[in-house]
Structure 1
């Protein structure tokens, strides 16, 4: 509705006309001020990070939040709400007001894997959220202990097939991205291995280095230092193309399994039914932030690739990976 103005008097003297004009001007100014106050963002924004501090989701969420704070002059406050594979934090955002002041740093696990592994989640990965911006892609890398007599993916597959259930692979836990990526590889190549879940990626990497397990398929940042130190061997990466951090390591697809792709990804979502203008503003600013030197350096340090895109492209990614991981979970008869 238009801003209410003082009624126009039917008969006015000179002084009355002046009073009415002043009242009208003040009314218009108040309406303009109100419009400015309600323009997004008009107050601090919560960025819920559904994992513990220190991981890639936390680092990226805080970095993006800092860029938005600088651009908008409104604080974007990170809030770590960990637990249940990220579902506790995701549920908090799903139930928040759809006004753009509560956002989630989403992850492939939270939005595409966990919903199939835990079908009784209190949120729906599609219906409960508004996709806002795809932030980054983090390729996984298949690494093995040097004692394993393999040199590439083809010899790894041959060895595992010749020794069914003799190779142990670690992960950061049941249903983690590392677990799911190795399950996907096993389905595609017809492999049988023993899964050894840990409470986090760090101990899973430590026991691989120590030779307690023989293989791991996890995000590059978690194992890059150990690869460079020669403590473990990199066999293949999960991305469609080779990655700059490991230029001599082939992709799974070029090493013998065409079409294989299983990267981790991160992106920002909000509650369902957010206003279109707010969605557009958040998307545009995050895309702009992904070009800043500070963000590019942070992504490079995390072994991540910036992925500026539209909300529609990000929504398509979520739908595609939901279908992909649902098939992996069903076909592998995985239960937790």
Structure 2
């Protein structure tokens, strides 16, 4: 009897069934999602909307843990070193594919040591300017900047942040020379833009939405794949023929490399179930967050392309972190 049982198990394992049996109990304890930024930031708000609903679908609690520092590299390294069993995940974002170029001494390789699970969506960004700028559209703004080399500026929330890199991308792709003015955070950058001390700012849409609606800032273009319902008249960069600005501040889930494929698939499907709910989409839209198609393959493709793109921008502009 024991021999027959061993023979049957060996046969099933050879067919790949034994592995499926080994994971059949997943999840049998809480799943933890680590965020590399403080509470209240975009990713944190989004994940705290999704976590309890994902927990309902999975049948286990989904716990959100903030572990900020080093532009999310501390959190990413922790996940890269975690057990690849599907119980410890990273809420990844644009910073995770920028950091390898800024910090070449990182002790882990984001693309190698973390496996993509699925995309969640993106927080579109806006290029906004002071109302005194003599331009009504993105095309006019580019033309104006070309006539005023080195005399127009853009603010950022610090060297190496995505608000800085988008400005450098704009310079490199449009043949303009906007002067970079870095700040220690977005609050003072926005204050100086409103006061007219700087000309432009690339910013998450949610941060500047109220000022655009009030007319105290002018929105020239949207970074993202679709227009914002709250600002339907603001076109995307792609719509006016400017490439390389399709990807805004995106968010996804990554697991440690080596996490079994069936667990990765289960996580992706359960998240897709949550994101398909109309009430969830409504909550995320209220946060200026657009959901995107999920799945391992499209997310892996995005990570590869984004890593290459930002590496080229960082090298061309010789960007050094603060």
Fold shared, TM-score > 0.5 on shorter chain: yes
CA contact (8 A) 1:174 1:197 kept: yes
Separation of aligned partners in 2, 1:293 and 1:200: 34
**Number of the residue aligned with 2:64:** 78
Separation of aligned partners in 1, 2:79 and 2:23: 24
CA contact (8 A) 2:76 2:110 kept: no
CA contact (8 A) 1:227 1:234 kept: yes
Q: Deviations over 1:277-325 (max 9, x none)?
A: 1111100001111112342122201212111321111111101111111
Q: Establish whether residue 273 from structure 1 lines up as the match of residue 261 from structure 2.
A: no
**Number of the residue aligned with 2:320:** 335
Query: After the TM superposition, which residues 172-211 of structure 1 pair with which residues of structure 2 at under 5 Å, given as runs?
Result: 172-211=157-196
Q: Deviations over 1:58-113 (max 9, x none)?
A: 11122221221122231111111111111111111111110111111100111x11
Q: Establish whether residue 248 from structure 1 lines up as the match of residue 233 from structure 2.
A: yes
- Deviation (angstroms), 1:53: 0.8
Judge which range, 152-161 or 135-144, deviates more: 152-161
Q: Which runs of 4+ in 1 moved over 4 A?
A: 2-5, 35-38
Larger radius of gyration: 1
> TM-score, normalised on structure 2?
0.88
Query: After the TM superposition, which residues 105-144 of structure 1 pair with which residues of structure 2 at under 5 Å, given as runs?
Result: 105-110=91-96, 112-144=97-129
Q: Deviations over 1:15-53 (max 9, x none)?
A: xxxxxxxxxxxxxxxxxxxx7997111111111010011
Separation of aligned partners in 2, 1:297 and 1:185: 32
Separation of aligned partners in 2, 1:254 and 1:306: 20
**Number of the residue aligned with 1:297:** 282
CA contact (8 A) 2:23 2:263 kept: no
Separation of aligned partners in 1, 2:295 and 2:121: 13
Separation of aligned partners in 2, 1:333 and 1:309: 34
**Number of the residue aligned with 1:50:** 36
**Number of the residue aligned with 1:64:** 50
> TM-score, normalised on structure 1?
0.85
Separation of aligned partners in 2, 1:167 and 1:96: 46
User: Residues 276 and 256 from structure 1, CA distance in 2 versus in 1: closer, same or farther, beyond 3 angstroms?
Assistant: closer
**Structure 2: segments with no counterpart, 5+ residues:** 6-20
Q: Establish whether residue 234 from structure 1 lines up as the match of residue 219 from structure 2.
A: yes
CA contact (8 A) 1:172 1:197 kept: yes
- Deviation (angstroms), 1:192: 1.1
Separation of aligned partners in 1, 2:152 and 2:35: 35
Q: CA RMSD in A?
A: 2.1
User: Residues 258 and 93 from structure 1, CA distance in 2 versus in 1: closer, same or farther, beyond 3 angstroms?
Assistant: closer
**Structure 1: segments with no counterpart, 5+ residues:** 6-34
